Amino acid sequence: MYSLKCHRYIYGWRILAPGAVDLRIASPIPAGYSALMKTIIEPFRIKMVEPIKLTTRTEREKLIRAAHYNPFLLRAEDVIIDLLTDSGTSAMSAEAWGALMRGDESYAGARSWYHFRDTVKDIFGFEQVIPTHQGRAAEHILFGVMVKPGMIVPNNTHFDTTRANIEFVGGNPVDLPCAEANDLDSYSPFKGNMDIAALEALVAKEGPDRIPVIMVTITNNSGGGQPVSMANIREISRVARAAGIPFYIDACRFAENAHFIKRREPGFENTPVIDIAREIFSYADGCTMSAKKDAFGNIGGFLCTNDAALAHQERNILILTEGFPTYGGLAGRDLEAIAIGLREILDEHYLDYRLLSTRYVVEHLREAGIPVMAPAGGHAVYLDARRFLPHIEPLQYPGQSLAVELYLEAGIRAVEIGTVMFGLDPHTGEEHPARLDLLRLAIPRRVYTQSHMDYVLEAIGNVWARRDEIRGMKIIKAPQFLRHFTAHFDRA
C-alpha cells in the first residue's frame, strides 16, 4: 500500500513512528500566522458528538452501486467523512446552541431580528438588511429587481446558483477571472482576483445601461476557494463607480477572504480582521450572503444594500416569497445563531486554524506528488482529476471516477466539478469537456479533526497508488439541467 511517507503529521511537525519525532518541518507555518506554538490545534473542545457509522469496502461497493455511482444519491449515514460541501454543515458553538433557546419567535419586530440586523450592520456596514432563508434566495430577489433580459452581470466567477438566477431572469452572467486562476500550480497569493482590464473593456463596450451590477465572489468558490485582494476590490469599485454601476459582493466566505488579506497582503498584517471586512464592504453598494458558510449557520442568508428605494422593492418580493422583512424565511432562533456565528467566525485564532488546516491537506498531497490545486484555498481542497487519471478521457468523467474510488476506498464523499457538472449544453444537447475536471473536497467548519484529515490523506494516497487500474464512467440517464445532482452512472 502506498504510504504518505509517514502516518501522522501534526500541523507542521511529523511523527515518524510512535515515540520518534522528526523535527524537520513538513509543512511550516507561514510567517505571520499567530501560532502560539508550532502545533496548531483545533481551537475548540468537543462537547457533543455524532457517531460515524463505519462501513466496509464490500458494503460500500453495494451502496455506491445502489446509488448509481453518484455520491449525491447516497444516504449521508453511509458516508464516513462527508466533504460534499462546507455549506450548512458547520458545527455551532455552545453559545449559538444556547441562543437558539433565546430565539424570539414573534412574527414582527422580534428581539432576535434586531440582534441579527445590528450584527450584520456592524460588520458589513450597509444601511438596509434583508434576511433570507439562504444565499440563493438573496440572489433571486436581487437579480429579479436589477437584471432585465439581455443584460450582462460580470463576476470573478459566478457560483452555480448566482449564474442560474441571472439566467432565470434572462440575463447573461460573464466570468472575468484573472490569468493566474487558470494555472493550477501557480502559488500566486490572490488567484480569486478579477481581471480588471477585461472588466474595463466590458464596461467600455456595453456601458451601464447593459450592466446593471458588477459582482465579485469572496472567496472565489468556483475558482478554487481562492481569495480576492483588497487592491483588486478597490479597483473593481473604482471601475464600477466611474461608470455609475452598483458593485455587489457575494460574501459567503468573507471572513476567510479577509484573513487571507491579513496574512498575505502587505499593509494588513496588524489590522484586526473585522476592520479588514469592514473595509472590503465599504467599497461596495451591497452584498448577498449565505449564512451557511462564514456564519456557521445550518440555514440562513441575507441581502444588503445602501439604496432605500431598491430595498423597498426587494422587501415587497421578500414578503411574497420568503416572509415578513424582520424574519425573511428564518425562525427567530436561526437569526440568533447567525448573529453569534458572525462574531465567532472573526476570531483570528479560529481563522488561522481554518486556513492552516486546509493548507495542511494540500501541502501534504503536493509533497506526495498528487495533483491538487495550489495554493490551498479556504474551504476546500481541489484534486486535479484530469492529471490524477490521465488515461481517462474527459468524456468518461475522471472527476466522477475519482469520487467513486474515494468513496470505495474510505467512505469519503466529495463532489465532481468538471465535465459532469458543466459538460452538457442543455440547449443543444451537445457534450464537451469542461475547462477542468476537478474533485472538490469541501471541509465543514469545526466538524472534523486532524486525524479525520490524516485518514483522508491516507485514502487519497491509496487511490493514487492504484490509479492506473481505475476506469472511466458513462452516464446511463440524466436530466437536461443540473444533471450532476441526479444522474445515474455505470463503469465505462
Which positions touch ligand F0G (CB under 6 A)?
A: 85, 87, 134-136, 159, 161-162, 217, 221, 250, 252, 290, 292, 301, 442
Least distance in Å: CB of 45 to ligand F0G? 27
Under a CB-based contact definition with an 8 Å cutoff, are residues 152 and 325 in contact?
no
Under a CB-based contact definition with an 8 Å cutoff, are residues 135 and 113 in contact?
no
- 423 Cβ partners below 8 Å, 6+ apart? 394, 395, 431, 432, 433, 434
Q: How far apart are CA 384 and CA 226, in angstroms?
A: 15
Tell the residue number behind the cell numbers 501534504, with chain if given.
364
Least distance in Å: CB of 225 to ligand F0G? 9
CA angle 406, 410, 411 (to 5 degrees): 85
> Where on the phi/psi map is residue 179: left (φ > 0), alpha (ψ -120 to 50), or beta?
alpha
Q: Which residue is nearest to ligand F0G (CB)?
A: 135
Task: Give the residue with the Cβ less far from ligand F0G, 80 or 251.
Answer: 251
Task: Give the residue with the Cβ less far from ligand F0G, 107 or 485.
Answer: 485
Q: How far apart are CA 91 and CA 381, in angstroms?
A: 19
Q: How far apart are CA 161 and CA 167, in angstroms?
A: 10
Least distance in Å: CB of 219 to ligand F0G? 8
Task: Give the residue with the Cβ less far from ligand F0G, 55 or 221.
Answer: 221
Least distance in Å: CB of 142 to ligand F0G? 11
Q: How far apart are CA 176 and CA 199, in angstroms?
A: 7
Under a CB-based contact definition with an 8 Å cutoff, are residues 401 and 389 in contact?
yes
The tally of CA atoms less than 13 A away on the side-chain side of residue 217 is 29
Q: How far apart are CA 124 and CA 355, in angstroms?
A: 22
Least distance in Å: CB of 301 to ligand F0G? 5
Least distance in Å: CB of 465 to ligand F0G? 29
Task: Give the residue with the Cβ less far from ligand F0G, 40 or 412.
Answer: 412
Peptide bond into 55 cis (omega under 30): no
Least distance in Å: CB of 319 to ligand F0G? 20
Task: Give the residue with the Cβ less far from ligand F0G, 112 or 257.
Answer: 257
Under a CB-based contact definition with an 8 Å cutoff, are residues 381 and 358 in contact?
yes
**DSSP structure class, residue 138:** H
Task: Give the residue with the Cβ less far from ligand F0G, 250 or 458.
Answer: 250
Task: Give the residue with the Cβ less far from ligand F0G, 63 or 84.
Answer: 84
Tell the residue number behind the cell numbers 497582503, with chain if given.
265
Task: Give the residue with the Cβ less far from ligand F0G, 27 or 257.
Answer: 257
Least distance in Å: CB of 417 to ligand F0G? 10
